[in-house]
């Protein structure tokens, strides 16, 4: 008997929907500082262990500046101040700060408090306040558990795509390709990229709060991102990017600035 074309099976989608609802509501956590609800299914200790392992592997492949280097001393001094400001929300990280000799204009922080700054970003930072903006942002990614949240979202997205693939398996090949293609584009531009941009903005805000409470100058944040904009060259439209545009970040920092200045005044007296 010939298979009927165009038949959509609802059952796999119902199964996925039930699982997604259970997964979503049973793995709720709260992001510190912002209070946003997030979905994280990984245990904190497991996440920290993975972060430490990844950090060791990355450092083994790079040229690390010695402890006596002035840039290392500056990065560690800034890192300790921001970590102290985050003490109330720290899940037990063992902070470590290193500087990697590289032309990359980059920095990162992994779960467990493992932070690295590339020398290529130091000229853009220009001063300790600019470097504090960069490090506060990266440290906030780790404190907010953004990596674990992305893994949970990617898991749900992959399962949703699989369920849809099963649901359309009785359709003719052309219909399947059209639906799966549309789903892939929709997931990428309607879910995953906006999700990533939201994480970047959240880390910007959290980092601004932390650096202000650590007595750095929050007014350096928009100045830094103006320098980043000049340094970065051509960039894709924001909707195609994992990060907000530099102009968006400058605007957001300026909106948050009164709060940040008030926090610094309260914490530092100036």
Which tokens in the block code for residue 253? 């920092």
User: pLDDT tens digits for 180-191?
Assistant: 899 888 888 888
Catalytic status, residue 138: yes
Please state, in angstroms and as integers, the Cα–Cα distance from residue 77 to each residue in 84, 132, 146, following that order.
11, 10, 25
256: closest CA among 203, 215, 214, 199?
A: 203
pLDDT at 6: 64
Contacts of 73 (CB under 8 A, 6+ apart): 67
Q: Residue 233's pLDDT band (boundaries 50, 70, 90)?
A: low
Query: What is the distance between the alpha carbons of residues 175 and 244, in angstroms, rounded to a whole number?
Result: 35
Task: Report the pLDDT value the prediction gives residue 5, as an integer from 0 to 100.
Answer: 56
Per-residue pLDDT band for 141 (boundaries 50, 70, 90) equals: very high
Tens of pLDDT, residue by residue over 147-159, are: 999 999 999 999 9
- Is residue 103 pLDDT above 50, yes or no? yes
pLDDT at 128: 97
pLDDT (mean) for 104-117: 96
According to the model, what pLDDT value does residue 232 have? 67
Q: pLDDT per residue over 10-24, tens digit each?
A: 999 999 999 999 999
For the chain, the domains span: 38-268
Q: What's the pLDDT tens digit per position in 212-221?
A: 999 999 999 9
Strand 107-110 relative to strand 96-100, pairing: unpaired
Rounded CA-CA distance 223/228 in Å is 9
29, 126, 138, 259: the catalytic one is 138
User: How confident is the model at residue 72, as a pLDDT?
Assistant: 98
pTM: predicted TM-score of the whole model, two decimal places: 0.92
């Amino acid at each position: 008997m010939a298979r009927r074309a165009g038949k959509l099976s609802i059952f796999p989608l119902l199964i996925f929907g039930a699982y997604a609802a259970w997964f979503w509501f049973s793995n709720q956590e709260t992001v510190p500082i912002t209070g946003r609800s997030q979905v994280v299914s990984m245990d904190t200790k497991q996440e920290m262990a993975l972060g430490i392992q990844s950090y060791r592997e990355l450092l083994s492949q790079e040229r690390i500046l010695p402890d006596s280097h002035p840039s290392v001393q500056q990065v560690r001094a800034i890192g300790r101040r921001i970590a102290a400001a985050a003490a109330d929300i720290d899940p037990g990280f063992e902070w470590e700060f290193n500087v990697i000799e590289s032309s990359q204009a980059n920095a990162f922080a992994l779960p467990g408090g493992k932070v690295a700054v590339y020398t290529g970003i130091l000229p853009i930072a220009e001063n300790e306040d600019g470097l504090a903006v960069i490090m506060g942002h990266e440290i906030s990614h780790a404190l907010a558990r953004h990596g674990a949240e992305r893994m949970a979202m990617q898991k749900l997205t992959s399962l949703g795509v699989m369920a849809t693939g099963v649901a359309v398996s009785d359709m003719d090949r052309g219909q399947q390709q059209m639906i799966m293609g549309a789903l892939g584009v929709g997931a990428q531009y309607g879910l995953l990229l906006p999700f990533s941009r939201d994480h970047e903005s959240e880390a910007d805000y959290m980092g601004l709060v932390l650096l202000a409470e650590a007595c750095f100058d929050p007014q350096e944040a928009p100045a830094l991102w103006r320098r980043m904009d000049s340094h970065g060259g051509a960039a894709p439209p924001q909707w195609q990017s994992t990060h907000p545009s530099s102009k968006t970040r400058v605007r957001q920092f300026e909106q948050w600035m009164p709060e940040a200045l008030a926090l610094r005044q309260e914490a530092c007296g100036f």
